[in-house]
Structure formats: C-alpha cells, structure tokens
A = this chain, B = another copy of it.
Amino acid sequence: MPYVSERGTIMPASPIRRLVPLANVAKEKGVKVYHLNIGQPDVPTPREGIAALESIDRSILEYSPSEGLLSLRQKLCQYYKKFSIDVDVDDIIVTTGGSEAVLFAFMACLDPGDEIIVPEPAYANYMAFAISAGAKIITVPSSIDEGFALPPVEKFEELITSRTKGILICNPNNPTGYLYTMKEMLQIRDLVKKHDLFLFSDEVYREFCYTGAPYISAFHLPDIENQVVLIDSVSKRYNECGIRIGALITKHKQLKQNVMKFCQARLSPPLLGQIVAEASIDTSSEYMLATYNEYVERRKFLIDEINKIPGCYSPIPMGAFYTVARLPVDDADKFCEWCLRDFQYEGKTVFMAPASGFYTTPGMGRDEVRIAYMLEKPELAVAMKVLSEALKAYPGRTLCN
C-alpha cells in the first residue's frame, strides 16, 4: 500500500473536533453532552437569509465568479464602511469560509520554509493551514495571568528572521476573547512597517466586543494598508457557519492577482451561501443587538460560574464568544477525554476543547480549556454544575479536597 504524506501525518487533529468520536459514543449510551467545544451559535440565522433560499428564483445553480458575486462584494463594502474600514469592491475576494481565506492568504504570501509569528494560544487551524502551505508558525506565548494581553513586542522582534513574512493576529481573539488595545495595535503596526511584513488580521468576531473598548481593525492602522490581509467570515456574525462564506481583503495588487489564481483553480465559492450571506447583511439592527445582548449575558454568567468553582480561573473575555479557563487538573487533554468517556453526572457530561491544541509551545495550556458560550443560560448553568462535579470526581485533580 502506498504511503501517505508526511505533511498529513504531522497535521494536528483539530482540538475542537478531535474528541467528537468520544462524544458520539457518549450520546449513543444515552448521555446528554453539553457542547462547550465549538463555536456553533444556537441563535437563529437571520430570517432574511433563510427567506432568500425559500424564494430562490433560479433554474440553474451555476458557478459564480471565482472572486464571488459582485452584488455580495458591493454589500460587504458598505458593511465595512460602518466600521470605518475603507475598502473597494475589487479589494474583496469571497472565499469558502474564513478557512479558505486563511489558506489562500498563506498560499499566496508564503513559500515553504517561510515563517509567520503568532501570539498563542491561537486558533488551532492556523497551524493546519500553515502546514498545508509548508510554512512555519512561530508562536509567542501570552499568559492567562496577564489576561492574554499582547506579549511584549520585543518578544516578536527577537523571533524575526530572514524567513519571516508576516504577523498574524485574531482580534477579538479566538480562543481567549482578548481585544487588542490601540497601544498594542500600534506596536504591531510599527513592527510590521519596520520589517516590511504582512499583517494577517482575522477579524471575524468584530461584532462581538463587550467592554466599550474600541474595535481596531488592521485597516485602521496608518501607513501599512498595502501590508494588511484581512480575514473575514459571515459565519459567526449571522449564525450561519454552514454556508461557508468568508472573505480575503487586501489592497496589495500583486497579492490579489496571486490569490485569484488559487480562487480560479477551485472555480468558485458556494453560490447558495453567497445568496444567504448577501441577504443576511440586510438583517435588522434589532437582530444584531439581540444577539449581542444574549452573548453579553452569557459571558457574564459563564465567567462568574467558572470563577466560583474551586481552583478554576478565567479572565474576563472582552470579545468573541470563548474563554480560556484554567482548571485544577493534571492534564486538560486527559480531563476532557475522561469527561466524555468515563464520567456522567445525572446522565450528563461536558465537551470542552483542551487548550493545549491552541499552543505550539510544549507544555503550555496543559491545565487550560477553551469554553465556548453557545448555550442558553439555563443550559450553561447545568453544564457548569456538571463541570464542577466532574472536577470533584476526576482522579487527576490537582486540588486537595
């Protein structure tokens, strides 16, 4: 039998989805599994989006342009203006989810052996896309005790080599919920400018900033507009993760041409998703506000509950809908597996994402988990009760009773 690729072998399994088989077994045994692992919102998709499907008036579901439907790109342009992001229609390339935007950004900017520097913990799939592109992710650890603030910029600078092609940030951050301050963003900007790097900025959670602190887009930063590669997605803001519509936005002309070659190779982004996305941009401000308020409530509730459990600690996330919490366990990977395989409390258990998968530095995040607050408050309350009982029962707990 022929051998598979080394590339595929070193690809990490998703820390978010890796334990799905264990969860499925638990469900088959009749255990109710509370999904705290995945950013799949339970809030309904905007009615406008679904209505666009119900009233679809097409006899052929044909290829769309490789760069996406013009009408969608025009609407996105207007949408970004609301956030003072001044981009042209031609700067926007529609992708198959934010995932493809990251992959194409890496493919079009990085050659095998090239490096990008990323603060960790970081969205695990950046690593997977870097491996796909043969590039290296070099991480700078941030710390739960500092609330996952940007590590000192000198730490980044120490890591810059002749192969460094860019810095990648996610803002608001997945998995930590951290929102970079203007001071931090300007530090990144200076670094990027000084070393002539790309700034890959994943801003898919921009609608979800909770503290009154401003959301700062990479495109707000002065004098680096040709270096910014913005990653976007409609998945989270309109609760339509399944339609797979994202965008890669850049003003760098040659990069646009490069990205378009990858777009043409895969022919087109999903037509139906584009139709839904375009309609969803028209959703009411009431819908957006209700969704926002719901997450504000859940966030407060979840963080309060976590911090009440003995030995647990979560900083207060400022955006997105995740937090990284520290648990009193020997090994969060083992604990998360144990919850699914060996534990139940009144027929229930919890599914969390071990944070180790969001770090590349060995040993980091060993006692941390990412928790998404995608459940309604009453369900979150049960999930937190189950978690606290699990922590009492877990043989590898590090807290004395």
Contacts and interface: CB of A to CB of B under 8 A. Distances in A.
Interface of A: 1-9, 11-14, 17-18, 20, 38, 40-45, 49-50, 53-56, 58-66, 96-97, 99-100, 103, 107-112, 114, 125, 128-129, 132-134, 165-166, 196-198, 226-227, 239-244, 252, 254-255, 258-259, 261-262, 264-273, 276
Contacts of A50: 56, 58-59, 61
A293 to B, nearest CB: 18
Contacts of A41: 60
Number of identical monomers bound together in the oligomeric complex: 2
B107 A258 contact: no
Which 7 residue pairs spanning A and B have beta carbons closest together? A242-B271, A8-B258, A128-B265, A272-B272, A14-B264, A11-B261, A99-B266
Contacts of A18: 264
Contact of A62 (B49, B97, B226, B242): B242
Given A11-B258, A99-B267, A128-B262, A111 B5 contact: yes
Contacts of A42: 60
A8 B273 contact: no
24 contacts: A1-B252, A2-B196, A4-B252, A4-B255, A7-B111, A8-B109, A8-B258, A11-B258, A14-B264, A41-B60, A45-B61, A50-B58, A50-B59, A53-B53, A53-B272, A54-B55, A125-B265, A128-B261, A128-B265, A134-B134, A242-B271, A244-B244, A270-B272, A272-B273
B270 A270 contact: yes
Contact of A2 (B17, B99, B227): B227
A112 B112 contact: yes
Contacts of A114: 5
A17 B66 contact: yes
